[in-house]
Chains A and B, each alone.
Chain A
């Protein structure tokens, strides 16, 4: 136990934890929205994230000709590069998410297969995606060139906020807010909520079920893609199984806040990001992954409805 380090490093850990937490928040939106509508864990979401990170890296290296030795860019070009990477990542993830729904879920759903079938089919898709990328990249981690020079936005008493972390926190917050608004205020968002409450009744009300489910996967994919982009700006490296741990953590975050519940995913993601950073200092970083699993098991055992319990549970998605 390393309490002294936690005391002296409190603020840097807090900022790291928040940045990681917002990445978790966005990925867990993908899990929680799909769960809300289909009552199924989208096992392929971790691979949707992984493909987003690769899209970011590919755009910055092939389209904008960045390499490991090149200097970070500035001004308008920086903005353009970042926007393009973000867009590429979001679009890739969204397209893959919609395809996953078409291939792995829709057929089984229309056939009325049981839950086990859909789960196994999703696991299969996830393996196909990650193994496909593993074979294409020869299991070698891909380092992304530094596009954004990592300067400190401000620094007080040696505690600084790095630009990439600030970007993640601010942008993560905005994006989450936008999704939340979309789901609560717009017509399509209402359709998603209706389906998550009762598939049968929403069909009777004239909601096109297939379209709403596709839309849910689309939004989940877009948000997960944005998370992948932020992950790449902060950590600058990806590998074919990058999604595995992030996926488990994001799923844990979704469960922590009450799965199927958007705001729960927000609090759960932040809590888990902070917990992971602090515990990795307390126990040693080799136990970092175990922290996530232990949190998951404890939450499922003690409060299966999530930390926010029934009151939040009622406002599904």
Chain B
């Protein structure tokens, strides 16, 4: 199978800085123009039959990409299976709801609180849970997600099962009003957040935390032996992922203007996990692609929208069995000298040739 990831990476690495910047700006501009694609006959095949296309771009598409990028730090980068990611989303959303209705803070001011609350929750959950092995961690995080939801339902002071309504929308920014008439502005906001997260993850992955996460993911025992403070970096990974989820929650709450506990059930965690797994664990572009496909298709194709979770579950099983690395797999880090690289290329070519001749012989 062709490796799109490596082909793309090779192209990107061959470019110089101005070329890269130009490409990034073009890509972001193209993404920013997406809300208007539904209007023109050339691109209106993108329109969604049930909900408004522009609203779909914000939630689920933009939100899922944002959350999948956050979960990717936990699952993809450091290899910790978190099945309760929705808890951080819920904590962010409820922080926005409570602060937005009880104080005069606007959404921009609430944002750091939402992220902070999610991060603290991440640390509180992480300190005990991250000492556990992988599959235990999965169950404990799953339990945590449910505890948060049941706690919200059973606490009347934050709305109980009825939720909280009347959450303020962000104030006008640079002359752009954020209200129900303008989902495109929300979409731009989400795109900006996605870009910030991508930038952050890229910077982190090539520095000490990223290397520590990679070591933990590949072999935790070896990482400990090499002197990586694994617990500390696992908690960092957990709380950074949580902060991204919290930020997504704040935006979600203020865009919907209403939160209720049923938006934060176990299925959401699984959906986000499928986005990460489907696209390619550990690879930002894979995750973006996976989240876009899995969030957009159920809105576009009416048949799928009824059986959304079924499709997502199938995606998980199929992906793991057929292509466990995902659509766009992570790039293997190889630090080779020029000669080694040439030698490797020669060996690969030789292997290919021998395989071809073998299959020919088999045919004959």
Residues of A within 8 A of B (CB): 40-41, 103-104, 107-108, 111, 113, 115-121, 123-128, 131-132, 134-135, 244, 248, 251, 255, 286-287, 289-290, 292-294, 296-297, 300-301, 304
- In the complex, what distance in Å separates the CA atom of A233 from the CA atom of B147? 29
Q: Chain B 114-146, CB within 8 Å of chain A: the 1/0 string?
A: 000000000000001101101110111011101
Instruction: Decide if A135 touches B306 in the complex (CB within 8 Å).
Output: yes
Q: Could you pull out 27 A-B pairs where Cβ atoms are within 8 angstroms?
A: A103-B321, A107-B321, A108-B321, A113-B320, A116-B75, A116-B81, A116-B281, A119-B134, A119-B135, A119-B138, A120-B273, A123-B83, A123-B313, A124-B316, A125-B313, A128-B310, A128-B313, A128-B314, A131-B309, A135-B306, A135-B310, A286-B153, A290-B147, A292-B143, A293-B144, A293-B147, A300-B129
Smallest CB-CB separation from A39: which chain B residue?
A: B135
Instruction: Decide if A127 touches B147 in the complex (CB within 8 Å).
Output: no
Q: Tell me if B317 is interfacial: C-beta within 8 Å of chain A.
A: yes
Q: Tell me if B34 is interfacial: C-beta within 8 Å of chain A.
A: no
Q: Which among A115, A117, A128, A304 is the interface contact of B132 at CB below 8 angstroms?
A: A304
Smallest CB-CB separation from A125: which chain B residue?
A: B317
Q: Tell me if B268 is interfacial: C-beta within 8 Å of chain A.
A: no
Q: Which residues of the other chain, B, contact A104 by a CB distance below 8 angstroms?
A: 317
Instruction: Decide if A41 touches B310 in the complex (CB within 8 Å).
Output: no
Q: Tell me if B324 is interfacial: C-beta within 8 Å of chain A.
A: yes
Q: Which residues of the other chain, A, contact B128 by a CB distance below 8 angstroms?
A: 297, 300-301
A-B contact count (CB 8 A): 111
Q: Tell me if B266 is interfacial: C-beta within 8 Å of chain A.
A: yes
Instruction: Decide if A289 touches B313 in the complex (CB within 8 Å).
Output: no
**B-side interface size class:** 35 or more
- Known: A41-B139, A248-B142, A297-B143. Contact between A120 and B307, CB under 8 A? no
Instruction: Decide if B312 touches A251 in the complex (CB within 8 Å).
Output: no
- In the complex, what distance in Å separates the CA atom of A119 from the CA atom of B316? 10
- In the complex, what distance in Å separates the CA atom of A198 from the CA atom of B158? 51
Residues of B within 8 A of A (CB): 75, 79, 81, 83, 128-129, 131-132, 134-136, 138-140, 142-144, 146-147, 150-151, 153-154, 266, 270, 273-274, 277, 281, 306-307, 309-310, 312-318, 320-321, 324
Instruction: Decide if B81 touches A119 in the complex (CB within 8 Å).
Output: yes
Q: Which residues of the other chain, B, contact A126 by a CB distance below 8 angstroms?
A: 313
> Could you list 18 further interchain pairs (A-B, Cβ under 8 angstroms) beyond the known A115-B135, A120-B277, A290-B147?
A41-B138, A116-B75, A116-B281, A120-B273, A123-B83, A124-B315, A124-B318, A124-B320, A127-B309, A128-B313, A128-B314, A135-B306, A135-B307, A244-B266, A292-B143, A293-B143, A294-B147, A300-B128
B92 to chain A, nearest CB (A): 21
Instruction: Decide if A131 touches B143 in the complex (CB within 8 Å).
Output: no
B126 to chain A, nearest CB (A): 12
Instruction: Decide if A251 touches B150 in the complex (CB within 8 Å).
Output: no
Instruction: Decide if B142 touches A41 in the complex (CB within 8 Å).
Output: no
Instruction: Decide if B320 touches A131 in the complex (CB within 8 Å).
Output: no
Q: Which residues of the other chain, A, contact B83 by a CB distance below 8 angstroms?
A: 123
- In the complex, what distance in Å separates the CA atom of A104 from the CA atom of B79? 20
Q: Which among A111, A118, A134, A290 is the interface contact of B150 at CB below 8 angstroms?
A: A290
- In the complex, what distance in Å separates the CA atom of A127 from the CA atom of B306? 14
Smallest CB-CB separation from B138: which chain A residue?
A: A119
Q: Which among B142, B144, B310, B315 is the interface contact of A132 at CB below 8 angstroms?
A: B310
Instruction: Decide if B139 touches A296 in the complex (CB within 8 Å).
Output: yes
Q: Which residues of the other chain, B, contact A121 by a CB distance below 8 angstroms?
A: 316-317, 320-321
Smallest CB-CB separation from B276: which chain A residue?
A: A120
Instruction: Decide if A123 touches B146 in the complex (CB within 8 Å).
Output: no
Count chain A CB atoms within 10 A of each CB in B128, B142, B313 and give the residue with the most.
B313
A97 to chain B, nearest CB (A): 16
Q: Which residues of the other chain, B, contact A287 by a CB distance below 8 angstroms?
A: 150, 154
